[in-house]
Amino acid sequence: MRTMALGIAAVATLAGTPALAADMALKAPSAAAYDWTGCYIGANTGWIGSQDHYALAPSGNYLNPPGIDAPPNFFRTGDFASNIAALSNSYTRDGSGALIGEQAGCNKQAGQYVFGAEFDAQWTSLKNSVNTSYAAFPDPGNPTFTNSPHTEQASSRLEGLLTFRGRAGYAWDRLFLYVTGGLAVGEIKSQTNVTFAATGALTATYDGAVHVGSTTTDRAGWVVGSGAEYAFAPHWSAKAELLYIDFGTLSLNSPLIAATAPFALGAGYNWSTKIRERDGVARVGVNYKLN
């Protein structure tokens, strides 16, 4: 371009006509708007928090009609409904952790509207737990007997997270604002331990009863959110994103594994745990546009 301008200037000088040089002056072309169309890969990091609801309660044979012997027993009879209700407890706990991961996706721009799809895989340190102790109290169904002191422990950990989301938004040249939503899949590890003290008292119920269970499951849920992305170089962009994830309610049964005589390890006695998992994500990342 510079060589061409010098050539034109030389012609104008030789011609001795300043007006000719002015008419032939070249105008610099305006910069083209950024095009978001194309596929990309990237990495991200950020914070993840949860508000989990735990509900623990006797289940299995404990729900059978009461018999002569207090549960657990060889005959697999159950407990009074009023005592089942008294031993059912709910908790809400907040937890938080870090996350780091990678993403890949593609965009298509039409005018100033941009549509696309993105997949990301995350590792997280998010965990939450309950640890509560209860003193002995009379059995509401038969106050002659007393429920032994006991502890309830439950925990959940989100070890991995995948999302498959659509993105749609509006671009102002290099700035892209969008909403997003789709499918979330989480690898959730949960465990429960409900242990009654072994008092040896003849009128103690659940004496020495220990219930332990754990599971790791891939849980599907849904995710929605919004974000902003800015292209700071021809192939590079930076983004910030907020997501809300709901994995619904997962269930865990913790079987009876120990009891103090004369209580027996009758098969089918369990303590149930229901966990409602809801998470929030705040993260930043960078993307490299492949084309």
pLDDT band (50, 70, 90) for residue 26 = very low
pLDDT band (50, 70, 90) for residue 70 = confident
Residue 261: its pLDDT value, please? 72
**Tokens 């059912």 appear where?**
88
Identify the top-confidence range among 7-16, 30-39, 127-136, 251-260: 127-136
Residue 266: its pLDDT value, please? 67
Residue 31: its pLDDT value, please? 57
Side by side, which strands form the sheet with 204-205? 137-138, 146-147, 204-205
pLDDT at 288 over 80: yes
**Is 218 in contact with 243 (CB distance < 8 Å)?**
no
| Burial per residue of 127-148, b for 16 or more beta-carbon CB atoms within 10 angstroms, e otherwise | bbebeeeeeeeebebbeebbbb
Across the range 10-29, mean pLDDT stands at 39
Candidates 86, 75, 82; CA nearest to 150 is 86
Least confident of 24-33, 55-64, 106-115, 181-190: 24-33
Residue 262: its pLDDT value, please? 67
What is the DSSP pairing of strand 269-289 with strand 236-258?
Answer: antiparallel
pLDDT in tens, 146-199: 999 999 999 999 999 999 999 999 999 999 999 999 999 999 999 999 999 998
**Share above pLDDT 70 across residues of the chain, in percent, rounded to a whole number:** 88
**Which residues neighbour 54 within 8 Å (Cβ) at sequence distance 6 or greater?**
90, 91, 92, 93, 130, 154, 273, 274, 275
35: amino acid identity, one letter: D
Across the range 49-63, mean pLDDT stands at 96
Across the range 120-145, mean pLDDT stands at 95
User: What pairs with residue 226 in β-bridges?
Assistant: 179, 242
CA separation, residue 29 to residues 32, 221, 253 (Å)? 9, 50, 70
Across the range 91-103, mean pLDDT stands at 97
pLDDT in tens, 200-241: 888 888 989 999 999 999 999 999 999 999 999 999 999 999
Residue 17: its pLDDT value, please? 40
pLDDT at 246 over 70: yes
**Which residues neighbour 269 within 8 Å (Cβ) at sequence distance 6 or greater?**
60, 61, 62, 71, 72, 76, 209, 211, 255, 256
Candidates 136, 54, 59; CA nearest to 89 is 54
- Who has greater pLDDT, 59 or 258? 59
Least confident of 25-29, 43-47, 150-154, 264-268: 25-29
Tokens of 189: 């590890």
Residue 11: its pLDDT value, please? 30
According to DSSP, residue 156 is labeled: E
Q: How many residues does the chain have?
A: 291
Question: Considering the entire predicted model, what is its pTM?
Answer: 0.84
The count of other CB atoms within 10 Å of the CB of residue 186 is 24
Rounded CA gap, 263 and 151, in Å? 19
pLDDT at 15 over 50: no
Q: How much is the mean pLDDT over the chain? A: 89
**Share above pLDDT 90 across residues of the chain, in percent, rounded to a whole number:** 76
Rounded CA gap, 241 and 229, in Å? 9
Q: ∠ CA 157-278-59 to the nearest 5 degrees? A: 70
pLDDT band (50, 70, 90) for residue 260 = confident
According to DSSP, residue 72 is labeled: S
